[in-house]
Homo-oligomer: A and B are copies of this chain.
Amino acid sequence: MRISINRHADTPVYLQIKNQVRDMIFSDVLPEGMLLPPERSLAKDLEVNRSTVIRAYQELKADGLVGSQVGKGTVVLHQTVKKSSLAEGYINPLPWYQLFAETVTSSNDNIIGDIMAITGSDNVISFAGGIPAPSLYPIEIMREIQSELFETANRELFLHSPVEGHYPLRESISYLLRQRQIVAAPKDTVILSGSQQGLDFMARVFIRPGDTVIVEEPTFFGAIQIFRSAGARVIGAPIDKEGLRTDVLEALLVRHKPKFIYTLPTFQNPSGVTMSLERRYQLLNLAYQYQLPILEDDPYGELYYESTPIPPLKALDRHGYVIYLSTFSKSLFLGLRVGWVTAAPQVLAKFAQLKQMTDLHVNTPAQLLLDAFIRKGCYERHVAVLRQEYAARRDKMLRALEKYKVPGISWDKPEGGYYIWCKLPDNILRHKLVANASKRGVVFLPGEAFYPDGTQGDTHVRLNYTFASPEQIETGIKYLLQAVRETTITAGNHENERNLKPLV
């Protein structure tokens, strides 16, 4: 019996022995009834400990490959299936791409994954993500709360939670909602793995392939992606400085009969625009008239840097038409993956059913941690700190834009949220801008990602001001605008004109 041992392999020695004997049995090198060498002598041959061989033989017995016969030793048993029958001939690799259902889009533009990968790397100034400033994380308070929870909650900290979420956290969310002028009982909320999961559940609950969904144009690209992968036609409705153009919307409702409208009314992503109160009432009126649910996504509403913002649509809607999503990802940490939906009971029942089927419930420790953080009043204090700090970063970015300004760029001052939506010169070579800027260590999101048809918005960029430090903001904007200047075609910019030729 020839067995070779590799002492540097990851596989333990006893397993190497066992697997080789198994293979010899299946390939009939060791036929039925054959005696295996005694453990002691095999151990000597292989220069291993006797217990190693004993363990290998025990495992072979457990697998029904060998048996002990009194007075004889260890004997190979009858095997119906031989290794040879498994290995015989050429086995085709699986044609995976023929097996996949088409409903999952195979789009290559994994923007979110790319941003997350870039954002982690050093030596890069990132205006690309939508991530809160790590330096402001309330780590010390979290450490204290976590250690209290080990005392008070103990095992409950790791037990399963109800599908709809940890009840005390749902109570705490009711409290937060009241500050946003939304009156909702704990039972009106279901906890989700981020508001991203709310978008996915909306798609699964409402969209049949071929249905239409209306979104703002521009809008959050993750929403476009998820609605489309559920088989929806995603139609954009324009926005202006007062938000969604309700006059255009009405024409779209008549023409497309959408399943629902998706809107980010407050400090919109990417434009930073806030829908006016007048437009909010007009939108609600249209929803009532056309019997249309509104999906209101409100991740940024509490991060206002001027006066308190206009109430959410959910606060103005008295008829349960608004499905309201929000999250702790923008005010605390992205890494906890906790958000929620507040909606009519019929919708919540569907969401809870999906939650149970798809992942049972949200991570319990995260729910307990957030609940304690809110109950102690830490959440409000933390958000107040963020408002100050992010307002300062926004102003820093606005000043830097002004300072390093190049002809043809423009922007509006957002009154809250995470982003400045910056218009570039019309004559920019946009395909080159991303490469030119990242050569200088600056990343951002090009505007076309935010349009359903991917062709508009090509002269805008979205600049996030919460993640980079104030020093990085100054430097990053300087380099970015240098890159803009260099990739803009002007009478005097000959090098770029030459570079343009192959593109034409």
Contact = CB atoms under 8 A, between A and B. Distances in A.
Interface stretch (A111-119, A233-241, A393-401): A111-119
A204 interface: yes
B307 A161 contact: no
Nearest to A315: B19
Contacts of A225: 357
A471 to B, nearest CB: 18
Given A101-B205, A336-B158, A229 B113 contact: no
Given A91-B319, A277-B65, A104 B354 contact: yes
A6 interface: no
A116 B160 contact: yes
Interface stretch (A41-49, A192-200, A405-413): A192-200
A134 B155 contact: yes
Report the copy number of this chain in the oligomer.
2
Interface residues of A, number: 123
A162 B110 CA distance: 13
A362 interface: yes
Given A86-B281, A282-B81, A158 B142 contact: yes
A178 interface: yes
Contact of A131 (B103, B160, B162, B193): B160
A122 interface: no
A385 interface: no
Interface stretch (A363-371, A428-436, A442-450, A492-500): A363-371
Contact of A104 (B96, B204, B226): B204
A64 to B, nearest CB: 6
Nearest to A358: B200
A359 to B, nearest CB: 4
A87 to B, nearest CB: 8
14 contacts: A12-B178, A63-B310, A64-B278, A94-B320, A101-B208, A104-B350, A113-B163, A120-B159, A139-B154, A139-B157, A159-B334, A200-B359, A337-B362, A337-B364
